[in-house]
A and B are shown apart, each in its own frame.
Chain A
Amino acid sequence: MSKCRSCGEPAVVDLPRHNANFCSVHLQQLCTRQVERAISDHSMFAPEDRILVAVSGGKDSLALWDMLIELGYRADGLYIGLGIGEYSEESHRITAEFADTRGLTLHTVDLRAEHGFDIPTAARATKRVPCSACGLSKRHIFDRETRRHGYDVLATGHNLDDEAAVLLGNTIRWDVDYLSRQSPVLPERHGFPRKVKPLIRLTEREMAAWCVVRGIDYVVEECPMAIGNRHAGLKETLNAMDERSPGTKASFYLGFLDRMAPLLRERTDAEAAPEACPSCGSPSSSDGMPCSFCRLEENAGSHEPVPVRMVLNRVARRAFDAQWGEESSDDRG
């Protein structure tokens, strides 16, 4: 039985990039130290700041919330009900239970109840992939709720694997604009709140291990819309490289932040200040027209509700049927 590098007790996990095994106590110590380092290296927030954590019910966002509380920060949660069938119901249940058992404050926004549409319907109404309507809606609601409740900063659970996969995608396309904006901190500007990613120094496997040793119940099954998407493919590619040469992912992304991002930063030129959306008051770059979220709301809100299964591609639909069973495949709309 392998032993913990720090204390010699039986280990619970091997972390090849550290070339070592760790017990539960020292795995937790390693994780919280990496988070503290990300917070201080990038001046993400101060001890007295009020933090709003965007929580989805998945391992990363729940682990982030748990760690910030553990480190003594003042952090509340925000959950958005996206209306993605049973996946969303399960995510909501788990998130609410996490907050309840710890006595934490959770704000909840339900898209269908408050805005009259859900993500599958938005995807069908706009004839675009679900993740595009979803990303737009989440960004809008995160920004609005952070402002509305007066939080100093919005924190999301993006981890090292997420950021490395985005970096690989941006690099393959040599998308210099995106590369120059890929940062773990977006400063507050033009009515948009400050946004930070404290988990950038931790891998997905480390976050899942955190949840297991902390006894955190999270949604293991992922969003049906994510199955087989391009982002997941980039992550697999990076993991294949990491298996042959542990630490590749970390050096690719953290090296970018350290040595490449400063060179690109000079490029980010001042954008024009956006105007207020005439319909919701949020900052909008649409020149006096309603913002993109308000246009989505108007378009999708008048569309008949569409069940999740209808907007999945063939591969995702097969996986969805296997996962959620026959009942789900009945509602063919």
Chain B
Amino acid sequence: MIVRLRQPRREVEIPGGRAAHAVLRDLGLSREGHLVICNGTLVPSDTMLADDDVVEIRPVISGG
């Protein structure tokens, strides 16, 4: 599946069939600091992500 990351904007391709929280963990990202948006819809962390999903991982922490 395609995973879109921010700050800076970039895309990585990783295998699907895993829960959103597992993907966050593998990418070294905290659950409390991110939202997972799958095919344009906000989803909870236990959602299983499939190979053909387009997933956005959106950071929510601002430093200002």
Contact = CB atoms under 8 A, between A and B. Distances in A.
A212 B33 contact: no
Residue of A209, A228, A319 with most chain B CB atoms under a 10 A cut-off:
A209
Contacts of A209: 35, 42
A131 B63 CA distance: 11
A248 to B, nearest CB: 10
Interface in B6-64: 6-9, 30-35, 37, 41-47, 58-64
B63 A232 contact: yes
Given A21-B44, A239-B33, A243-B32, A205 B60 contact: yes
Main secondary structure of the interface of A (DSSP, over half): helix
A319 B8 contact: yes
A331 interface: no
A220 B62 CA distance: 9
B61 A239 contact: yes
Nearest to B41: A12
A14 B61 contact: no
A59 interface: yes
A12 B44 contact: yes
Contact of A205 (B9, B35, B46): B35
A11 B47 CA distance: 10
A64 B1 CA distance: 34
B6 A239 contact: no
Interface in A198-257: 203-205, 207-209, 212-213, 220-223, 225-229, 231-232, 235-236, 239-240, 242-243
Interface residues of A, number: 43
A323 interface: yes
A236 B44 contact: no
Given A239-B30, A319-B7, A319-B8, A232 B43 contact: no
Interface residues of B, number: 25
Contact of B7 (A56, A222, A239): A222
Residue of B34, B35, B64 with most chain A CB atoms under a 10 A cut-off:
B64
B42 A213 contact: yes
Contacts of B62: 58-60, 204, 222-223, 226, 232
B31 A16 contact: yes
Contacts of B44: 2, 11-14, 21
Residue of A59, A212, A240 with most chain B CB atoms under a 10 A cut-off:
A212
Interface of B: 6-9, 30-35, 37, 41-47, 58-64
Q: Give 3 nearest A-B pairs by CB, closest first.
A: A226-B63, A232-B63, A322-B8
20 contacts: A2-B44, A11-B44, A13-B43, A13-B44, A14-B45, A16-B31, A58-B62, A59-B60, A59-B62, A131-B64, A204-B60, A208-B35, A208-B60, A212-B37, A222-B62, A236-B61, A239-B30, A239-B33, A319-B7, A323-B9
